[in-house]
A and B are shown apart, each in its own frame.
Chain A
Amino acid sequence: MNAPDSVQPEWRVKSANQTRLAYGQALLEIGAREPRAVVVSADTQDLLGIRTYIERFRERFIELGIAEQNAIGVSSGLATTGMRPYVCAYAPFISARSMEQIRNDVAYANQRVVIGAAASGISLGVAGGTHHSLEDLALMRSLPNMNVVVPADVNEAYKATLATLDIDGPVYMRLGGRAEEPPVTGAEAPFRLGKAAQLRPGNDIAVLACGAMVELAVRAADALKKEGIGVRVLNMSSIKPFDRDAVLAAAAETRGIVTAEEHHLTGGLGGMVAELLAVEQPTRMRMVGMPDVFAMVGPTVAVRVKYGMSADGIASACRALLA
């Protein structure tokens, strides 16, 4: 775990360890740097913390109300004119409801639209299954041209959002909710699309995690270290494109791979790693994530724990592979 900087920048403080707010903070920097940037809201001004952006860049803000399909279509049209739209939306609604607009208007037409998808996974645990977003990675990574990023913490969310300025294509930025995502990546560590970062070295087991699961994977690795088990932890924040070399190296240099994601076990990070390894290098695996049921109602962390998405759950999967 990185010690917090003694003097934190304003964006870091205002992000309050929530990636959704770090995205909103990064938009302030983007608004200043890129005159073509425009922020599009689907009645989500507080969800992504963009009220300061709106004050500062009123003329480059468009409110579209509770209409996600329209938000995506309009953003695609804006992008064709040379504007750089940044959509602010709820992950469960912008992904599933607007899937056709994202597929056709954004991915197929290959427009530079950045989708900030907050409250992903079971961030809205108490809201129930209508508000959980546990299939969005499967949907988004199945689209040609789409880039998919799942920041592990606010440092990475901020840097990854800034990095979209140089990504020549659409981006789905999967962000968390109100549950804190404690810092796990270094303030100085760069975000590089398509690259995994190794957060812990180890050659017994490799844990490949994304989003909030990264911090839990690090905790699991630190616990297992005390048992004499060396766990390599890779932050797979770049889901598409992803770091094939790092995955293949982890498979070759360890005895098995555990994946961890706040997403259904179908079609997400685990599926992605299994698809590669089944073809290139068959490897024993365990997958931590949401099983094939709709999640129960409950506070985010408690619901995660219930289905094994915890440091203990990840550590158990590691031990099972070594048994």
Chain B
Amino acid sequence: MSASTDTLVSRLETHARQVRRDIWRAVRAGGGGHIGGSSSAADILTALYFHRLKIRPQEPRWPDRDRFVLSKGHANAGLGAVLAQAGFIDDAILDKFYAYESPFGMHPDIKMAGVEMCTGALGHGLAIAMGMALGARLQKKSFHTFVMIGDGELHEGSNWEAAMAASHHKLSNLTAIIDFNKVCQSGRVNEVISVDPLADKWRAFGWAVREFDGHDMAEVVDTLDALPIDPHCPTALIAHTVKGKGVSFAEDTYVWHSNSVNDEILAKALLELAEPLQGAQP
């Protein structure tokens, strides 16, 4: 790893820790929420918003911006955390999670700056992102469209309609990121309904596939920088992640898919997410 990459990764890791702290903070403000899927996505969201996406937080509707659609809309605490840190929204909005008339509810709302689509009903984002990618092609624009999909979300059949059509239309300007944290609301995804063999499914639908560790920031950056993998088809990035990543008691359990958070639990979580002491190894 070069020195500059080292610096980049270290910077992004610092951002990611803040994103995780803000996820817990928002969920505490809401009284509860989707810690698990927000935390599994946190490193990828961080790498997208602080490294990969061409965006202008002061001009959220800039026509040439890269698009990011959070199809797994229940991870909105994670999206809000990166949007606040990136400067799309006021940091104080994070304390208005679930609040009366808040723009920041459980699921993304297009009316909030930086949010590209109202999502949360699962199985919608890939088709929408495909439409954005087609819009780019029709208007001869070079922006790239990313969509993040949950692993359990792939149970929804509409994903596969879009997957089939996106490769038919050779949308190499479209990347789907699967947050493969292996856990959904009722238990382990593959015990609820198996999604395996996941990479083979996407390949069979005509996508270029790459699997990576969604918590190894150097690998996340390397993966996002390698796009498109194939200039003739869309890319599926399968991110191996851990539900609730970053806080030991919330990791890898369906209990923390969505759960309530009080001050005591928040304090325990924040202790684990504290910045490492200066000079210590992260």
Which A positions have Cβ atoms within 8 angstroms of B? 38, 59-60, 62, 64-65, 67, 69-70, 72-83, 85, 100-101, 104-105, 108-110
Q: Contacts A69-B127, A70-B127 given; indicate if A82 touches B165 (C-beta within 8 A).
A: no
CA distance A100 to B121 in the complex (A): 8
Whether B224 sits at the interface, judged by CB under 8 Å, is no
Residues of B within 8 A of A76 (CB): 117, 127-128, 131
Chain B residues bordering chain A, tally (CB within 8 A): 32
Residues of B within 8 A of A38 (CB): 138
Q: Contacts A38-B138, A70-B162 given; indicate if A75 touches B117 (C-beta within 8 A).
A: no
Shortest Cβ gap from A44 to chain B (Å): 15
Q: Contacts A104-B118, A105-B117 given; indicate if A77 touches B139 (C-beta within 8 A).
A: no
Whether B19 sits at the interface, judged by CB under 8 Å, is no
State whether A109 touches B118 (Cβ < 8 A): yes
CA distance A199 to B116 in the complex (A): 45
State whether B121 touches A104 (Cβ < 8 A): yes
Among B110, B127, B141, B165, the residue within 8 A (CB) of A101 is B127
Q: Name which residue of chain A comes closest to B107, CB basis.
A: A104
Among B117, B133, B138, the residue within 8 A (CB) of A109 is B117
Q: Contacts A65-B165, A70-B161, A76-B131 given; indicate if A81 touches B139 (C-beta within 8 A).
A: yes
State whether B63 touches A77 (Cβ < 8 A): no
State whether A70 touches B117 (Cβ < 8 A): no
How would residues 149 to 190 of chain B score, 1 for a CB under 8 Å from any chain A CB and 0 otherwise? 000000000100110110011000000000000000000000
State whether A69 touches B161 (Cβ < 8 A): yes
CA distance A77 to B165 in the complex (A): 14
Which has the most chain B C-beta neighbours within 10 Å: A74, A100, A104, A109? A74
Q: Contacts A62-B169, A67-B165, A104-B121 given; indicate if A73 touches B138 (C-beta within 8 A).
A: no
CA distance A85 to B127 in the complex (A): 14
State whether B121 touches A83 (Cβ < 8 A): no
State whether B124 touches A73 (Cβ < 8 A): yes
Among B67, B158, B168, the residue within 8 A (CB) of A73 is B158
Within 8 A of A (CB), among B178-210: none
Supply 13 A–B pairs (Cβ within 8 Å), ascending by A: A65-B165, A69-B161, A70-B127, A70-B165, A75-B131, A76-B117, A77-B117, A81-B132, A83-B134, A101-B124, A105-B117, A109-B110, A109-B118
Shortest Cβ gap from A66 to chain B (Å): 9
Residues of B within 8 A of A110 (CB): 110
CA distance A75 to B63 in the complex (A): 17
State whether A81 touches B124 (Cβ < 8 A): no
How would residues 210 to 223 of chain B score, 1 for a CB under 8 Å from any chain A CB and 0 otherwise? 00000000000000
Q: Name which residue of chain B comes closest to A80, CB basis.
A: B132
Q: Name which residue of chain A comes closest to B63, CB basis.
A: A82
Residues of A within 8 A of B165 (CB): 64-65, 67, 70, 74
State whether B128 touches A74 (Cβ < 8 A): yes
Shortest Cβ gap from B197 to chain A (Å): 23
Chain A interface helix/strand/loop/mixed: helix
State whether A59 touches B138 (Cβ < 8 A): yes
Q: Contacts A76-B128, A79-B131, A81-B135 given; indicate if A69 touches B158 (C-beta within 8 A).
A: yes
Shortest Cβ gap from A119 to chain B (Å): 21
Having A82-B135, A83-B138, one finds 4 other A-B pairs with CB under 8 Å, namely: A73-B124, A74-B165, A77-B131, A104-B121
Which has the most chain B C-beta neighbours within 10 Å: A38, A69, A79? A69
Which has the most chain B C-beta neighbours within 10 Å: A81, A83, A110? A81
Among B69, B116, B130, B136, the residue within 8 A (CB) of A74 is B130
Among A62, A75, A105, the residue within 8 A (CB) of B124 is A105
CA distance A80 to B124 in the complex (A): 14
State whether B135 touches A105 (Cβ < 8 A): no
Which has the most chain A C-beta neighbours within 10 Å: B123, B133, B162? B162
Residues of A within 8 A of B110 (CB): 109-110
CA distance A101 to B130 in the complex (A): 14
State whether B127 touches A80 (Cβ < 8 A): no
Q: Contacts A83-B139, A105-B124, A109-B118 given; indicate if A74 touches B158 (C-beta within 8 A).
A: no
CA distance A73 to B133 in the complex (A): 12
CA distance A75 to B31 in the complex (A): 36
State whether A74 touches B63 (Cβ < 8 A): no
CA distance A164 to B165 in the complex (A): 27
Whether B113 sits at the interface, judged by CB under 8 Å, is no
State whether B127 touches A77 (Cβ < 8 A): yes
State whether A73 touches B130 (Cβ < 8 A): yes
- Nearest 6 pairs of A and B residues by beta carbon: A77-B131, A73-B127, A81-B135, A70-B161, A74-B131, A67-B161
Among B67, B117, B139, B164, the residue within 8 A (CB) of A82 is B139
CA distance A82 to B123 in the complex (A): 23
Whether B239 sits at the interface, judged by CB under 8 Å, is no
Residues of A within 8 A of B124 (CB): 73, 100-101, 104-105
Shortest Cβ gap from B218 to chain A (Å): 32
State whether B135 touches A83 (Cβ < 8 A): yes
CA distance A77 to B162 in the complex (A): 12
Q: Name which residue of chain A comes closest to B135, CB basis.
A: A81
Shortest Cβ gap from A18 to chain B (Å): 28
CA distance A273 to B135 in the complex (A): 40
CA distance A54 to B118 in the complex (A): 31
